[in-house]
Amino acid sequence: MKNFNINKIIRPHLLSLKTYDAVNPPDLLSKKSGIPENELIKLNGNENPYGASPKAIAALKNLPMHLYPDPDQIKIRNAISKYTGLPIDNIVAGAGADEIIDLIFRIFISPGDSILDCSPTFGMYSFCAKIAGANVKFAERDSKYDLDINEIEKNINENTKLIFITSPNNPTGNLVSYEHIKYLLKKEILVVVDEAYFEFSKSSVQNLVLDHPNLIVLRTMSKWAGLAGLRIGYGLMHSSATKYLMEIKPPYNINVAAEAALLASFEDVDLLQKNVDMIIENRDWMNIELNKINNLTAYPSFGNYILCEFTKNYSKTVYGELEENGIFVRKFNTERLKNSFRISIGTEVQNKKVLQIIQKAMKYE
C-alpha cells in the first residue's frame, strides 16, 4: 500500500505533541558551535563531571552480550536492596528513572485522567502525561519555588490520579518538606516523589514506602554514579505496586551493560560519594560567587545544579557568551523561567571558567 497515510492511524492527540526538549549530544553541540568536542563544557544535563566509577568501567569488559538479561532483575534488586535497606519486593529497576515514569503512566493512567505537575519542574511528567492522553493540571510553585498546597488543593478533583513531587526539584534545587509529602499521602492519589538527586541532598522519604501503598520514590544511577549513558534507575514502592510494574515492564528492560555497571558502582560507593562531596562543595562555592553579581540570583540548591535568574535581558546575553566559549547550560522556554538558566556543576576548572565568563558578561569587577 504505497499511499498509506500514517497520520490517519496515529492516536489523534499525538499529532500535535511537542517533542521533549532533550539535551543535545556533544557532537551536535560541537557542530553547532564550531568548537571541538574535547573543548566543550557540557553543563546542560546534570551529568556527573567525574564520570563513572573505574570499577563500573572495568565491569563492561567481557559481558555476555549474546544472552538476554535477567527479567526479574534479581542481582540488581539485591544490590539496590543492600544500598537502600528496603526488601527486593519494594524495588523495580528501569532504563533510567524515565522508564519508571513512563511505566507509571502505562499502568495507572487512562485517557481523561488528571495528573498534577508542580511547575516549574522536570518536563518528563507532563510530556508522558500528554502521550497517555491525560489532563495535566499545573499547580504553580510559590515565589520561592516551594510547593503551594492551596494551588495543589485547587487542582485536585475526582479525576486526579497522581501527583509528581520532585525533591530536590529540577531545575530550582529546593527540597520539599517531609510534612507536605505526608499531607499529600493522606489523599487518595498516587504520590510519586522523584529523588533523582538524593545522593546530593541526602534527604529522602523512602522510609514511608512500606506503610504507604500510594507512594513511589524514584531514584537514578545517572547523576551520583555517572551512568546517564547506560540508562538505569529504579523505583521504591509498596509491594502491591511492585507487582504491577514487574509484570508490565518490558521483560528485558535493563541491559547487561547497565546491570554490570550498577553492580560495580555499588561496590565503589565510597569513591562515588567522594565525587558527590566534591560536587556539593563546588556547588556551594559557585552559589556564593554567583550571588555576588548584581542582577543575578543563584537559588540555593540541594542537587548538582544551580538555577540562575537574571533581571532584564541579561540571561540572553550571558547564555550567548557562554555558548560562544563552548559552554552549554540549560535554558527554558516557559514564561516563568525565560530569564533563567540552569548550570550543572562541573569540575573545579570548568566552574571557574563559567564563573569568569558570567562575571565578565555582567561587568562584575
Ligand X SMILES: Cc1ncc(COP(=O)(O)O)c(C=O)c1O
The only residue of 69, 120, 233, 326 in contact with ligand X, by rule CB under 6 A: 233
Closest CA to 218 of 344, 107, 91: 91
User: At its nearest, how many Å lie between ligand X and the CB of residue 122?
Assistant: 4
The rounded distance, in Å, linking the Cα atoms of 278 and 319 is 25
CA distances from 153 to 82, 114, 119, 320 (A): 37, 13, 15, 40
Residue nearer to ligand X on the CB measure, 220 or 242: 220
How far out from the chain centre does Cα 82 lie? Answer: 23
Please list every residue from 95 through 114 that binds ligand X, using CB under 6 A.
96-98
Nearer to ligand X, 233 or 346 (CB): 233
Number of neighbouring beta carbons within 10 Å of residue 181 = 20
- Give the number of residues in contact with ligand X, rule: CB under 6 A: 13
> How many Cα atoms within 13 Å fall on the side-chain side of residue 14?
10
Asked whether the beta carbons of 345 and 351 are under 8 A apart, the reply is yes
> Which set of grid coordinates corresponds to residue 156?
485536585
Q: What's the rounded Cα separation, in Å, for the pair 175 and 167?
A: 5
User: Residue 196 CB, nearest distance to ligand X (Å)?
Assistant: 4
Contacts (CB under 6 A) with ligand X, residues 15-54: 46
Q: Shortest distance, CB of residue 349 to ligand X, whole angstroms?
A: 23
What track of x and - describes contact with ligand X for positions 255 through 294 (by CB under 6 A)? ----------------------------------------
Contact range with ligand X by CB under 6 A, out of 9-17, 55-63, 93-101, 353-361: 93-101
- From the list 301, 253, 298, the residue with the least C-alpha distance to 279 is 301
Cβ proximity to ligand X: between 201 and 325 the closer is: 201
Residue nearest to ligand X (CB): 96
Window of 56-64, 91-99, 144-152, 205-213 that interacts with ligand X by CB under 6 A = 91-99
Q: Does 228 bind ligand X (CB under 6 A)?
A: yes
- Scanning 25-33, 90-98, 259-267, 317-325 for contacts with ligand X by CB under 6 A, the matching segment is 90-98
User: 123 vs 19, 50, 110, 334, CA distance in Å?
Assistant: 11, 25, 20, 11
Q: Among residues 122 and 310, whose Cβ is nearest to ligand X?
A: 122
Residues in Cβ contact with 88 at an 8 Å cutoff, skipping those fewer than 6 apart: 74, 77, 78, 80, 81
Assess 116 for contact with ligand X (CB under 6 A). no
Give whichever of 46 and 214 is closer to ligand X, judged by the CB atom.
Answer: 46
Q: Which of 122, 127, 200, 328 binds ligand X (CB under 6 A)?
A: 122
What is the H or E stretch that residue 297 is in?
strand 296-298
Q: How far is residue 156 CA from its own chain's centroid? A: 24
Does 129 sit near ligand X (CB under 6 A)? no
Closest distance to ligand X from the beta carbon of 34 (Å):
27
C-alpha–C-alpha distance, residues 149 and 166, integer Å: 14
Q: How far is the CB of 25 from ligand X (least distance, A)?
A: 14
Between residue 167 and residue 206, which ones bind ligand X under the rule CB under 6 A? 170, 194, 196
**Chain residues in the site for ligand X (CB under 6 A):** 46, 96-98, 122, 166, 170, 194, 196, 220, 222, 228, 233
